[in-house]
Amino acid sequence: MKKYVCDPCGYVYDPEVGDPDGGIEPGTAFEDIPDDWVCPLCGMGKDVFSPVEE
């Protein structure tokens, strides 16, 4: 599964870790996160995230 980075603040969503504080279980692909989820650091929406090129 791909990691995604929040362009404004640099937070990286890692699907292996998820976002437990935000209710996202480990193993959740970015595409499967609810549309109302926001970046835990800056509060921006999913639309400002870009795939991390590995």
CA dihedral 36, 39, 44, 46 (to 10 degrees): -50
Asked if 7 and 50 touch (Cβ cutoff 8 Å), the reply is yes
Judge whether 9 is annotated as a binding position.
yes
Judge whether 6 is annotated as a binding position.
yes
Judge whether 39 is annotated as a binding position.
yes
Judge whether 8 is annotated as a binding position.
no
Is residue 48 helix, strand or coil?
helix
Residues in the annotated binding site for Fe cation: 6, 9, 39, 42
Which residues are part of a known binding site?
6, 9, 39, 42
